[in-house]
Amino acid sequence: MSYALISADSHIVESPDLWEKWLPKEFMQKAPKLVKDAEGGDAWQYRPGTPPVPLGLVTTYPGRTYEQFKWTGAKYDKVNKGAYIGSERVKEQKIDGVDAEVLYPSQRTMRHFMLDDEPDFHKAGIQAYNNWMAKEYMAADPKRLIGLAQMPNLGVEAMIAEMKRAKTMGMRGVILSSWPNGGTAMTLDDNAFWAEAEKLDMPVSIHLGVQSKQGAKPQTSTGVMEAAGLLSSGAKTVVGYSCAGLDNMPVIIAETILGGLFDRFPKLKFISVEAGAGWVPYFLEQMDDRYYRNRTWAQVDLQMLPSDYFRRNWLLTFVRDFYGVRNRHAVGLRSMMWSTDYPHHICDWPYSRRVANEMFDGVPEDERYAICAGNAAALYKLA
């Protein structure tokens, strides 16, 4: 199959029957429950007594406009069914002109399992999702539906075991929501996981950030942040959307590089997901400068400049980033991967081709191909 447009960051919404079909029966009492939101739309309730979490801004449907965006009122039988049915997703890709998508789970759902105090429930929930993705959703067309495996937060050995299992099921990479050791920072204990990921050639995705169980709270948000000072809840939410990833991803990238991770594991690949690209040239300039000035007293001894590691070991996805595309050479042509974030409200379905054509107007064909398809195809072994 030839590819011209690959979304390197798209999403699913769990199917209404996912947990009944894939989660062992003994855990169903604690499984997410499908309930109604305040407007009668479908929503997931993760814990008894907590507000239902609606589908509104994580789904789309034909004819939707910006003025219709809202969290509540969306229903499974009204939104695009490709959000939760693989065969329907392939049809929606063809409408959009997208040849394949790299698929990420709902992190709000993954958090429900990963923050639970019962390790068996935690493991069962993560494996239920990975099984559904590999054996049901992707099965509609594995060349177009590229599933990534969610990693549990149960320690290094458990994470390695699930990565190996995912590899045997045909999944092409892993998603970290926590460091392998489960703590607030990388440690030497993580090296066993990085070594296995490098050996298995499994790229490691980080979607906006990582959390430790100690510092995280159970999922209770309906998607709208609380008002703060002069900011209404809506304004505070838009602030969060505007800055998504910029508070976490530069720090994570710098820590992996300056911690010497890629001197130890030179073939390891990381992906910064959904944090954009336009900020990268300034970040790389500053990291190189600060490293070079301070490397002696700080005793940071690297084989290359930090920016060289970024361009060798990190890739990133972006959605709407005209500035990043204009500065693609400063970012790194081999580090950028176009995406749609479908079916979330930031996506432009069914007009992704048009938006891509506008964003890449005047870009040489070989450079456009690398960013829109070639880099992702190479990373996930699709070509």
The domain limits of the chain are: 6-379
Looking at residue 40, its pLDDT comes to 97
**What pTM, to 2 d.p., does this model score?**
0.95
Position 205 confidence tier, pLDDT thresholds 50, 70, 90: very high
Looking at residue 216, its pLDDT comes to 60
Looking at residue 229, its pLDDT comes to 86
Distance, in Å, from the CA atom of 237 to the CA atom of 351, rounded to the nearest integer, reads 25
Contact by Cβ (8 Å): 331, 351: no
CATH fold label, 6-379: TIM Barrel (3.20.20)
Distance, in Å, from the CA atom of 103 to the CA atom of 259, rounded to the nearest integer, reads 29
Residue corresponding to tokens 């990381």: 270
**Dihedral angle, C-alpha 252, 255, 261, 266, nearest 10 °:** 60
Whether pLDDT at 32 is above 60: yes
Q: What is the pLDDT of residues 243-272, one digit of tens each?
A: 888 989 999 999 999 999 999 999 999 999
Distance, in Å, from the CA atom of 211 to the CA atom of 69, rounded to the nearest integer, reads 29
Q: What is the pLDDT of residues 150-204, one digit of tens each?
A: 999 999 999 999 999 999 999 999 999 999 999 999 999 999 999 999 999 999 9
